Amino acid sequence: MENELQNLFQYSRDAVLCVKDGRVLFANSSAAELFGSDFSGESASKHLPAHLLSAQENSFISCADILGQPCTVSAVHWRGSLVLAFQPESPMCTKTDFLSDGLVASMMSALCNIGFAMDLISERLEKKDVESRRYTSIVYHNYYMLKHLIGNMSTTLAFDAGTAAFLPRSTDLAQLCSELVSTSELMLKDKVHINFSTDRGELIANVDPDLIERMVLNLLANSGKHTPPDGQITLGLKSGSGKAVISVDDTGSGIPPQILKNVFTGYKMSLGSSLTRHPSGGLGLGICRSIAEMHGGSIIIESREGIGTSVRVLLPLDGSTFAQHTSASIPSMENILTEFSDILTSSDYARELMD
């Protein structure tokens, strides 16, 4: 096997490792350069994060920090071994190359003025003026799509600058996820069906509930964009090995391999790709990754074209027993209207429905 791996990956620009029975069986020259040495034969757990080594998916995309270098990791189980390819994320093209706080603030200010003006116009419209109300619904829909995009830009800047708010508190993840599914189902109606699956009546974790809500809604929206009305989306929650596992599985169209390898760095992708044509601007999964990592967790994605996509977010549980916890609030309709703006239609933004 080592000779075969040598022939396949010796000259690969990607850093490639093969792990078998807990040890590094093979490392190509690019891997030796990335990790600082050729550690073939050594214990894999000394050099690689646990979430990569313990993943059960046949093939998946994840992230890792190697000696301070963020990497996107492509992995596949092959002949009883785990083959991992690391692609260092180049600092030559960063998200802040085309974003600035001043630009985003100006855009958000203008958008808020549009929203305020539309509220005033809507209040003055007669209920029987159906035609005018239809046009205002179209404007509101586009308002929320822009709010989604600008919000993602603002959040991305904050994560890059290390200024994103992080307010962890004792939270029941089971209640939070249940409320998110109930509210989402109510709004999405017959557009897509979402199930909630858990074996936990309660799962208390020290997390920022607002960030977790943002992440889960983003993952549900991503699945909703690519899952037909007769398909299924399942939000799952379980725990094990000191971690809470939030999963989103769908029976949608799946993600093409050439796009899958860039899902965490969507800002580098071609503007013609299917992901960047949506209001998230290719930033959504990168934000989900940042939220997971801010909690000390990780994210793993497995996808098959024509079959569906599975996302798992692993969040550490610190093992503490909490005497009290913060009840999860019902998700605001504002967040639902924003995060699902590329699934909902203009008729869903009729003022009387939003109120």
CATH number at residue 66: 3.30.450.20
With respect to residue 266, please indicate whether it lies within any of the assigned structural domains.
yes
In terms of domains, do 201 and 313 share one?
yes
With respect to residue 272, please indicate whether it lies within any of the assigned structural domains.
yes
Dist. CA 82–CA 24, nearest whole Å:
9
With respect to residue 319, please indicate whether it lies within any of the assigned structural domains.
yes
pLDDT of residue 341: 92
DSSP 97: G
With respect to residue 312, please indicate whether it lies within any of the assigned structural domains.
yes
CA atoms within 13 A on the CB side of 347: 4
Does the pLDDT of residue 50 top 80, yes or no? yes
Total domains present in the chain: 2
Mean pLDDT, the chain, as a whole number?
85
Dist. CA 46–CA 39, nearest whole Å:
10
SS3 of 348, please? helix
With respect to residue 113, please indicate whether it lies within any of the assigned structural domains.
no
For 85-96, the pLDDT digits (tens) are 999 886 544 545
For 295-335, the pLDDT digits (tens) are 999 999 999 999 999 999 999 997 555 555 666 566 778 88
CATH number reported for the structural domain that contains residue 269 in this entry: 3.30.565.10
Choose the final residue of a domain: 72, 88, 104: 88
In terms of domains, do 79 and 174 share one?
no
With respect to residue 36, please indicate whether it lies within any of the assigned structural domains.
yes
In terms of domains, do 241 and 330 share one?
yes
Please compute the mean of the pLDDT values over residues 8-28 and round it to a whole number: 89
* Relative orientation angle of helices 173-188 and 209-226, to the nearest 10 degrees: 40
In terms of domains, do 173 and 320 share one?
yes
In terms of domains, do 78 and 185 share one?
no
With respect to residue 273, please indicate whether it lies within any of the assigned structural domains.
yes
Choose the final residue of a domain: 88, 104, 119: 88
In terms of domains, do 79 and 173 share one?
no
In terms of domains, do 188 and 308 share one?
yes
> Domain range holding 248?
169-335
Q: pTM for the full model? A: 0.86
For 203-249, the pLDDT digits (tens) are 999 999 999 999 999 999 999 999 998 899 999 999 998 999 999 99
pLDDT band at 273 (very low <50, low <70, confident <90, very high): very low
With respect to residue 135, please indicate whether it lies within any of the assigned structural domains.
no
In terms of domains, do 69 and 176 share one?
no
